[in-house]
Amino acid sequence: MIGLYLRCMKGRNHMSDLLILIAVSLPLGALAGFAAGLFGIGGGAVIVPVLYYVFTHMGYYGDAAMQAAVATSLLTIVPTGFVSSYTHYKHDAIDFSWFKLLLVGIVIGAVFGGLSAIALPGDVLKRIFGGILLVMAFLMFKSKANTSGVHKEINKILAAGFGLFSGVISALMGIGGATLNVPFMVQQGAAINRAIATASALGVCVAVSGSLVFLFNDVNGNGDVLTPYSVGYVNFVSVLSIISLSMFTAKKGAKLTHKMDAQKLKKIFAIFMMLVALKMLF
């Protein structure tokens, strides 16, 4: 730990970098929190691209900038996702049958996803993020929103397998997994509002599992420069700045979910995903 601290201090304008990280992370947290509550996402689809840009242009983390953005994003999801999912819970919107079907696979997958993200080159990880997000946005945009909440008959093995896949991809991308889980549940007959609420709760499980992997691994490569107050791949300046506002705005977004038209909500969700995906790919 002392070694990490000395590396981050050496040769940097420590205070100015610290202030820049805070200045960027505060409004980022407000936006990510609102999106987390409204769409059931952990906010990673907003946080990862911005942090990647900031870390890269400030010269931090070297080739591991994408991994650092993913790791930092995952940890912010824990408190933000908890506030969001608790708000949904108070509206009796979380579908616990879906939660149980997906949970085990998601937790196991998140651990493997975190380890895979550390091993992959940053540029490859960025393209994976954009590509998967774009595909899921397209599927979500085409699917019909169900408001009845009546499920089709679900194969439990299929659900568990999808949960494993979702956990891996979510930890790779630094997201809560709603971009995968919401379309899957909607296509299987779940109402969009309940799918969003359930995905929000599942996102907390992804974030806890995945962020622990990044916290207890050192940044790969020689000569990588860490941001101020980093542990493993996680930057705690950004984490604390983001959650200071995201926990408040997440509650606002979650309440709005239950007042919006389901079809309109689905389309907005899909367009948002497409924009983020295209930004990362190009």
- pLDDT tens, residue by residue, 182-202: 878 887 878 878 888 898 899
> Looking at residue 108, what is its pLDDT?
93
Q: Cα-flanking dihedrals φ and ψ of residue 214, to 5°?
A: -70, -35
Domain count, the chain: 1
Closest CA to 149 of 200, 199, 186, 99: 186
Helix (H, G, I), strand (E, B) or coil at 230: strand
> 65-90 and 14-39 helices cross at what angle (nearest 10)?
40
Tokens of 181: 């889980």
pLDDT at 51: 92
Asked if residue 13 lies in contact with residue 60, where contact means CB atoms within 8 angstroms, the answer is: no
What contacts 278, CB < 8 A, 6 or more positions away? Answer: 130, 134
Query: In this structure, which long-range contacts are made by residues 233-237, counting pairs with CB atoms below 8 Å and at least 24 apart in sequence?
Result: 233/61, 233/64, 233/67, 233/68, 233/70, 233/71, 233/72, 233/118, 234/68, 234/71, 234/72, 234/75, 235/21, 235/51, 235/55, 235/68, 235/72, 237/18, 237/21, 237/22, 237/25
Q: Calculate the dihedral angle through the C-alpha atoms of 25, 30, 32, 36, rounding to the nearest 10 degrees.
A: 150
Tokens of 254: 């979650």
Q: Which two tokens stand for residue 262?
A: 């389901």
pLDDT at 41: 62
DSSP reduced 3-state for 216? coil
Instruction: List residues bridging with 234 in a β-sheet.
Output: 231
Please give the helix or strand (H or E) that residue 234 lies within, else none.
Answer: strand 234-235
The backbone torsions φ and ψ at residue 86, rounded to the nearest 5 degrees and listed phi first, read -65, -35
Residue 145, number of CB atoms within 10 A of its CB: 18
Contact between 44 and 183 under an 8 Å Cβ cutoff? The reply is: no
Query: CA-CA distance, 268 to 38, in Å (whole number)?
Result: 10
Which structural domain, as residue segments, surrounds residue 30? 2-281
User: Could you report the per-residue pLDDT of 206-245, keeping only the tens digit for each?
Assistant: 889 888 988 888 775 544 556 667 888 899 999 999 999 8
Q: Which residues of the chain have pLDDT under 50?
A: 1-11, 147, 149, 222-223
On whether the pTM is more than 0.75, the answer is yes
Residue where the block lists tokens 């295209």: 278
Distance CA(7)–CA(9), nearest Å, equals 5
